[in-house]
Amino acid sequence: MPDSPAAPTPYEVLGVAAQASHAELRRAYRRLLRQTHPDTGGDPARFHAVQEAWARIGDADDRRRWDSGQHRTGDREKNGADLSEEAAKPQRAARSTVRARTYGHPGGFARERYLVLVREWAGRGTDLADPYDAALVRSAPREIRHLLADALAEEATARAVSGLGIGYTMWSDVATDHGKLDHVILGPAGLFAVLSEDWGGAVRVVRGELVGEGIPAGEQPVKLLVRLAKSLGRSSRVRITGMLIVVPDEALAEPISYVGRKRDAAAVRLSFLPTVLRDGLDGGQRLSIEDVFDVRSRLQHSIRFV
């Protein structure tokens, strides 16, 4: 159970309210253990999630630490993530003389929406000393937590791209006629339309679309990305080389999972993104220096930000 803001809380995993009594927690835990146990035909992943949820709030002291936003000893090291206040706040990329050119505000739109909604949820007139307080984030509805998770994901992508050097240009929070593209990234390997996502759990490709427990019913991330990329291509008169959905490393079984037959779209682990941007997608055609300058000029004159 990664410490992503979008991940199900232990209460959500057990299907009980945050105010449930210890007896209610225990009954829910035992019922779900029976239902999800692999020996009786249950799902091993759900069985593990139920055990992890109980480990976090089954003990009174552990539950108190969770509710107050504290970590158990070793959680940061084990999960590779941090839901502390500092981790949730905007992070700047390290300064470097060879950083990529960047325009726009990565994660800005999602953070603004998060701040508006978390204040509305807390109650009008409530003075939130820290809207990123871990206890507050954990207690918020999942759709609000997802906005913060998306902001963090977009910022992480921006940091990964910034280290690629001056040969790359990135525009973030780009407006199209069909919605927002998180990033548009230009480099020698081509022009990429990118969504940075964190659904708080594992995802996989099924029949050309990304699916996972954290992806809301009816949501089709791949189709959305294709629609956004085509809209940008038409309005800016540029050719999109590839389309990428970047997810946390632990969310994807393989470094890259192609979507569709053309192999021009894929889900990619965050750590593998620089490799894709340097080498391109399978079969992709690299751009000449003249092409890069031409595409950059077109985009600089046509891109709009949300």
* Among candidate residues 77, 104, 125, the one where a domain is terminated: 77
* Among candidate residues 52, 77, 102, the one where a domain is terminated: 77
pLDDT score recorded for residue 99 = 86
Q: Is 271 found in the same domain as 165?
A: yes
Q: How many of the other CB atoms lie within 10 Å of CB of 72?
A: 14
Q: In whole angstroms, give the CA distance from residue 103 to residue 303.
A: 10
pLDDT score recorded for residue 72 = 55
pLDDT band at 227 (very low <50, low <70, confident <90, very high): very high
Q: Mean per-residue pLDDT for 274-288? A: 84
Q: Is 230 found in the same domain as 116?
A: yes
Q: Is 159 found in the same domain as 266?
A: yes
pLDDT score recorded for residue 284 = 63
pLDDT in tens, 32-60: 999 999 988 888 989 999 999 999 999 99
pLDDT band at 65 (very low <50, low <70, confident <90, very high): very high
CA distances for 282 relative to 160, 251, 262, 277, 286, angstroms: 21, 22, 9, 11, 11
Q: Is 296 found in the same domain as 216?
A: yes
Task: Classify residue 5: in a domain, yes or no.
Answer: no
Q: Is 188 found in the same domain as 132?
A: yes
User: Among residues 116, 115, 151, 120, which one has the least CA distance to residue 133?
Assistant: 115
Task: Classify residue 2: in a domain, yes or no.
Answer: no
pLDDT score recorded for residue 80 = 37
- Which helix (H) or strand (E) covers residue 268, if one does? strand 265-269
- Number of domains forming the structure of the chain: 2
Domain that holds residue 152: 85-305
Task: Classify residue 136: in a domain, yes or no.
Answer: yes
Q: Mean per-residue pLDDT for 70-75? A: 58
* Among candidate residues 77, 100, 130, the one where a domain is terminated: 77
Q: What is the mean pLDDT of the chain?
A: 89
Amino acid at 39: D
pLDDT beyond 80 at 78: no
pLDDT in tens, 189-198: 999 999 999 9
Q: Is 63 found in the same domain as 162?
A: no
Q: In whole angstroms, give the CA distance from residue 248 to residue 197.
A: 8
Q: Is 37 found in the same domain as 154?
A: no
Residue 58 token pair: 């089954």
CA distances for 48 relative to 39, 40, 83, 111, angstroms: 13, 14, 21, 31
Among 88-102, 219-233, 271-285, 290-304, the least confident range:
88-102
User: Among residues 181, 170, 275, 199, which one has the least CA distance to residue 235?
Assistant: 181
**Percent of the chain surpassing pLDDT 70:** 89
Kindly compute the dihedral angle of the four CA atoms of residues 66, 70, 74, 80, in this order, to the nearest 10 degrees. 90
